Structure 1
Amino acid sequence: MAIRLDNVGIAVRDLEATISFFTDLGLEVVGRDTVNGEWTDTAVGLDGNHAKIALLQTPDGHGRLELFEYLHPGAIETDPTLPNEIGMHRVAFAVDDIDAALEVAASHGCYPLRGVANYQDVYKLTYLRGPSGILVMLAEELQHADR
């Protein structure tokens, strides 16, 4: 049986603000829709499911996020996930310039939880809290395989 990761789905408070954040970081919107009806109720397991969705992907086409803003039933606010909680944890992106990526994040009011770390001179990386409290990891590779 062949398997591949297709996308990671994230419920968001404000679809447009979240799209803006991720597209400013470099992702591309590849699809948008508003979904509802029996098929979504069945697929999601939620009666009356009605949501606005957007599919974004990295420029290389390998990483995709499906963002959805629930219209019905209403979204349920939860406390933001902490880095050590069990369950869905974070979305990680490799970037070629972490400082530039952090400038983009800051323009959306999103800042590192503590700072930028250096992992054994291999990566500079940080966690930040993105739109709707999404944990986002940014990592810049400092050493390349072609050394």
Structure 2
Amino acid sequence: MAIRLENVGIAVSDIDAAVAFFTDLGLSVVGRDTVSGEWADTAVGLDGNHAKIAMLQTPDGHGTLELFEYIHPTAIETEPTQPNEIGMHRVAFSVDDIDEALAIAARHGCHPLRGVATYEDVYKLTYLRGPSGIIVMLAEALRAG
């Protein structure tokens, strides 16, 4: 059986703010829509499922995010995920210039959780809290690989 990763889905409280953040980082919007109906209820497992969605793609064409903002049922606010919690909690991106990426993130009010670290002279990397509390990892390779 062949398998490939299709996308990573992230529920957000403000889809426009999340789209602005990720497009400023360099992703492109490949589609936006509002979804609802019996097929959506069945696929997602929620009665009355109604959501705004946006599909964003990385410039290399290999990574796709699906952002969704629930209209119905009401979205459930949770505490921001911590890096050591079990389950999915971050999305990671390679960037050419981590300082530039952090400047872009800062314009959206998003800053590193602690700072920028250097891993064995291979990567500069950081975790930051993005829109809707999403943990975003940014990594800049320090040598060609």
- Category of TM-score, reference length = shorter chain: over 0.9
Structure 2-normalised TM-score? 0.99
Q: 1:143: Cα distance to partner? A: 1.1
Give the paired residue count.
Answer: 145
Q: 1:65: Cα distance to partner? A: 0.2
CA distance in 1, matches of 2:2, 2:97: 34
CA distance in 1, matches of 2:89, 2:34: 26
CA distance in 2, matches of 1:48, 1:61: 33
Which amino acid in the other structure matches residue 109 of structure 2?
Answer: G
1:38-77 equivalences in 2 (<5 Å):
38-77=38-77
Q: What percentage of residue pairs aligned between the two structures are identical?
A: 80
CA distance in 2, matches of 1:111, 1:142: 21
Instruction: Give 1:144's aligned residue.
Output: 144
SS in 2 for 1:118: strand
CA distance in 1, matches of 2:71, 2:79: 20
Q: 1:87: Cα distance to partner? A: 0.5
Q: Which runs of 5+ in 2 are unaligned?
A: none
Which amino acid in the other structure matches residue 92 of structure 2?
Answer: A
1:30-45 equivalences in 2 (<5 Å):
30-45=30-45
- Residues 75-101 of structure 1 deviation map (CA, whole Å, 9 limit, x = unaligned): 100001000000012000000000000
Considering only aligned residues, what root-mean-square deviation do their CA atoms show, in Å? 0.4
Structure 1's consecutive aligned runs of 4 or more residues displaced over 6 angstroms after TM superposition are none
Instruction: Give 1:118's aligned residue.
Output: 118
SS in 1 for 2:138: strand
- Residues 95-140 of structure 1 deviation map (CA, whole Å, 9 limit, x = unaligned): 0000000000000000000000000000000000000000000000
Instruction: Give 1:104's aligned residue.
Output: 104
Structure 1-normalised TM-score? 0.98
CA distance in 2, matches of 1:111, 1:91: 15
